[in-house]
């Protein structure tokens, strides 16, 4: 088991805690579906809008590699040497480029034509990345998707070609696996930040207004699960928050994607729903609320994984480093500073068993504290 707080993660952890306001997502507890999406929209709505020209300077805060060069997800190769790099401010495109490596520009991952080039979407830093101008031009306004028969491939392996995902056969742009989750969470951010603000958007073959179409949401959720949140995304989320004063909820809480869209595409049937015949009987509450005092000290955790068993303490698994907290059944994930959670829809007059594990990081970088005395408790429902 790795040490609870690795030196390499200290900066990330402190940055996360310093910039997620206490109780930022408090009003989302126990919400799901469009109710959760609507509540998240109200939290991240009305961000501080910057101009399109200010994006150039913003990238020096949000999109730099450790060597100070632009982090371009259309050219960066995590498994080999980078073929070309850009110096911020000196390699910006002025409209002329004939091949990869000429210059970098501002890529609307959610293309401008999908929302009529309107503000504030046109300069929303969460969805506009610095990318190679030539690759950006190849992508154009094609949807993101997967292709088995690419007609063009970039230096780092990004591909353009007919879609091989079920439900769509047009041309798509497929980023490399390393960044599929990044772009998926960007699209989910757009669907939520502009929820019910997209009535005059023309949309696209991938979206209805801001909302992904059925085939697209299936692709995005798969990318979101298969490429977990990285330290790069956490750092960028924090940096953009300093500029726009809103956050990408799907980076802070990856489980929200499943709570809203689930593992399957939403049902788009237009069949009207029938009114249920009867109301429920014996209407009462069977829930357990847990409270605790957060860990203190210089190395505080990012959050807590609360695990529950209906049998005994022995049946509660010990969490494994590198496994996202959201992947555990019968659990709650609570961020530092909240100190409470509620388990609902439990069996009446039954004893339940609970353990709580602090963790740092997120997704595949999650690191749990499992040494020492593990806090545990039992509670019986009424």
User: What is the residue-level pLDDT of the chain in tens, covering all 382 positions?
Assistant: 333 333 233 333 344 444 677 889 999 988 889 999 999 999 999 999 999 999 999 999 999 998 899 999 998 887 766 678 899 988 899 877 889 999 999 999 999 999 999 999 999 999 999 999 999 999 999 999 999 999 999 999 999 999 999 999 999 999 999 999 999 999 999 999 999 999 999 999 999 999 999 999 999 999 999 999 999 999 999 999 999 999 999 999 999 999 999 854 333 343 444 556 666 566 666 889 999 898 877 778 888 999 999 999 999 999 999 888 888 889 999 888 888 889 888 888 899 999 999 988 887 788 899 988 999 999 998 8
Model pTM score: 0.66
**Residue 226, C-beta contacts closer than 8 angstroms, at least 6 positions apart:** 177, 180, 181
CB of 2 closer than 8 Å to CB of 321: yes
Residue carrying the six token digits 């690795």: 6
Q: What is the DSSP string of 119-154?
A: TTGGG-TTTEEEEEHHHHHHHTTPPB---SS-SEE-
- The pLDDT score that the predictor gives to residue 172 is 98
CB of 254 closer than 8 Å to CB of 182: no
- The pLDDT score that the predictor gives to residue 280 is 58
- The pLDDT score that the predictor gives to residue 326 is 84
- The pLDDT score that the predictor gives to residue 162 is 98
Q: Helix 177-193 vs helix 33-44: angle between axes, to the nearest 10 degrees?
A: 80
Is residue 198 classed as helix, strand or coil in its secondary structure? coil
Report strand pairing: 351-360 vs 367-368: antiparallel
Q: Domains in the chain, start-ordered, CATH in brackets? A: 31-261 (no CATH), 288-380 (2.60.40)
Tokens standing for residue 269: 């049937």
Residue carrying the six token digits 């007919």: 162
CA distance 59 to 72: 11
Alpha carbon of 12 to those of 122, 240, 362: distances in Å?
29, 15, 10
- The pLDDT score that the predictor gives to residue 263 is 54
- The pLDDT score that the predictor gives to residue 152 is 96
- The pLDDT score that the predictor gives to residue 95 is 73
- The pLDDT score that the predictor gives to residue 364 is 78
């Amino acid at each position: 088991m790795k040490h609870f707080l690795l030196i390499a993660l200290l900066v990330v952890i402190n940055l996360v805690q310093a910039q997620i306001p206490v109780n930022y997502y408090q009003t989302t507890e126990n919400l799901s579906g469009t109710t959760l999406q609507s509540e998240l929209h109200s939290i991240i709505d009305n961000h501080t809008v910057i101009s399109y020209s200010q994006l150039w300077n913003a990238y020096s805060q949000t999109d730099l590699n450790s060597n100070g060069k632009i982090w371009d997800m259309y050219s960066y190769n995590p498994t080999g040497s980078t073929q070309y790099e850009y110096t911020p401010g000196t390699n910006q495109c002025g409209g002329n480029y004939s091949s990869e490596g000429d210059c970098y520009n501002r890529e609307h991952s959610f293309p401008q034509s999908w929302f009529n080039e309107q503000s504030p979407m046109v300069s929303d830093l969460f969805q506009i990345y610095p990318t190679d101008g030539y690759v950006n031009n190849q992508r154009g306004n094609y949807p993101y998707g997967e292709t088995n028969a690419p007609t063009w491939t970039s230096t780092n392996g990004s591909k353009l070609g007919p879609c091989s995902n079920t439900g769509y056969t047009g041309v798509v742009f497929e980023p490399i696996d390393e960044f599929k989750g990044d772009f998926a969470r960007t699209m989910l951010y757009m669907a939520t930040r502009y929820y019910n603000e997209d009535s005059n958007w023309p949309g696209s073959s991938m979206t209805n207004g801001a909302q992904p179409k059925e085939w697209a949401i299936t692709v995005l959720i798969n990318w979101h699960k298969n490429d977990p949140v990285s330290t790069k995304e956490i750092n960028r989320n924090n940096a953009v928050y300093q500029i726009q004063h809103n956050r990408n909820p799907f980076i802070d809480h990856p489980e929200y994607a499943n709570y809203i869209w689930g593992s399957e595409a939403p049902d788009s049937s237009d069949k009207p729903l029938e009114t249920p015949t009867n109301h429920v009987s014996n209407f009462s509450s069977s829930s357990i609320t847990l409270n605790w005092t957060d860990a203190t000290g210089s190395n505080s955790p990012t959050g807590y994984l609360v695990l529950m068993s209906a049998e005994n303490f022995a049946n509660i698994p010990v969490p494994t480093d590198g496994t996202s907290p959201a992947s555990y059944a019968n659990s709650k994930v609570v961020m530092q500073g909240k100190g409470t959670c509620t388990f609902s829809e439990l069996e009446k007059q039954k004893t339940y068993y609970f353990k709580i594990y602090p963790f740092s990081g997120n997704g595949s970088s999650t690191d749990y504290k499992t040494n020492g005395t593990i806090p545990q408790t039992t509670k019986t429902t009424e």
